[in-house]
Chains A and B, each alone.
Chain A
Amino acid sequence: MSKVRLLVGTRKGAFVLTSKGSREEWDVDGPLFTGWEIYHVNASPADPDRLYASQSSGWFGQIMQRSDDGGKTWEAVGNEFAYDGVPGTHQWYDGTQHPWEFARVWHLEPSPSDPDTVYAGVEDAALFRSTDGGKNWEELSGLREHKTGEQWQPGAGGLCLHTILIDPEKPERMVVAISAAGAFRTDDGGETWQPINRGLRSQELPDEDREVGHCVHRIAMHPSNPERLFMQKHWDVMRSDDGGEQWYEVSDNLPSDFGFPIAVNANEPETIYVVPIKSDSEHVPPDAKLRVYRSKTGGNEWEALTDGLPQSHCYVNVLRDAMAVDGLDPCGVYFGTTGGQVYASPDAGDSWSPIVRDLPAVLSVEAQTLP
């Protein structure tokens, strides 16, 4: 019988939640790395027991952890993230130029085919790769050295590379997203990159539809159709049908089109999920109601999913990496909140229940479907 394992990163450690395929009862293990910020834990699609975790601290910096036994034991691996060459400067909040400085790893994306190859999206924005299980990290500097790099500016959370999508059919094609620079795509394994932000409009920019500078919060892709991308931008939910060459808005009847995560149903490539948040200045759910919105038409025509979610006095946020889906049918959907709840829906969003209610603020959730 199948199992589901959730890898949860929080402000104060990591947690591993496991359930049978029924997804009715859950075991909770943790915290791991207690007291440290765990921005992301992710698993290799090629070896489900190979896990990587980004462990960081404002005092002690970045640690990378690796598990070869599904999270039972961990080993600290390489933590030197050195920019290639002289890294130069990017735009700072006040419009001046600011040196590129490594702060932390936001997102880890293991290769679909090789457990020892893993990509790391970091702050200040850059993409690194390890091909030896995390021992050594090399920057794919063509991204940071793009001619627009000096125009990139940090979002409120920092200048972070938070989304890495690898085309399962053509792994040399990848899409990344940076707050607040926008989305970029490589078709040659990371050597060269092009901005893919046509169609995005951001009122926070003096030139609303310029090439870079957009605060993309998250991009999602269904593996069966890598050309179709779904984006939660700072404001606006967007869609592209051509690998990011052109975007168009699909926010339609959402109560707010501001939000952070976006996810695609594993079995229905046109079914997507977002969590509307009231605004960029308040970061709370509209009307104090925690609602996931689902579109079964690849955007637009949104329906509110509320069964089991708090519909009054709710002021939590759901961060960009904190929503995931499993691979079962019906698809399980999961998200964690800044209030420490992890909610699960075993029926593709129709109903929800909390697995845990009182974790530290949840930064990330990943779902593994295990035999």
Chain B
Amino acid sequence: MIRVALPQHLRTLAGVDHEVTLELDGQARPTQRSVLDALEASYPVLCGTIRNQRTGERRDFIRFFACGRDLSLEPADDPLPDEVASGDAAFRVVGAMAGG
């Protein structure tokens, strides 16, 4: 089970109150890409809000955090930390601190 924490606006859009939990079938090790693919498959309304629908690139003002680390610039197909894979830590989608 993968836990994903969304910013408030995306929780409202997706109609969820708290963290989202996802099951990634057949994944030896979750990656940013596989988690976001599963997230968008479960909540299609989020398509385009986190990454470009066509290129898959992260939107400029979106960050990915987990286990106290900023993973935003890590390759999308790199394995996520063990704690995220085990469900002990959430994969956090964060709106960047911008705008005052």
Contact = CB atoms under 8 A, between A and B. Distances in A.
Interface of A: 35-36, 57-63, 76, 79-80, 82
Contacts of A63: 13, 45, 48-49
B54 A60 contact: no
Interface residues of B, number: 18
A59 B48 contact: no
Given A36-B9, A61-B49, A63-B13, A82 B61 contact: no
Contacts of A58: 61, 98-99
A142 B48 CA distance: 25
6 contacts: A59-B61, A59-B95, A60-B62, A63-B45, A63-B49, A79-B47
Query: For the complex, would chain B's binding face be called helix, strand, loop or mixed by DSSP majority?
Result: loop
B48 A82 contact: no
A57 B96 CA distance: 12
Contact of A82 (B54, B98, B99): B54
Contacts of B48: 61-63, 79-80
A58 B98 CA distance: 10
A79 B13 CA distance: 13
A60 B61 CA distance: 8
Given A60-B49, A61-B49, A82-B54, 5 more contacts: A58-B99, A60-B13, A63-B13, A80-B47, A80-B48
B22 interface: no
Interface in B1-24: 7, 9-10, 13
B16 to A, nearest CB: 14
B23 to A, nearest CB: 24
Nearest to A77: B45
Contacts of B42: none
A293 to B, nearest CB: 36
Nearest to A83: B54
A57 B47 CA distance: 14
Contacts of A82: 53-54
Interface string B50-83: 1001100001011000000000000000000000
Contacts of A36: 9
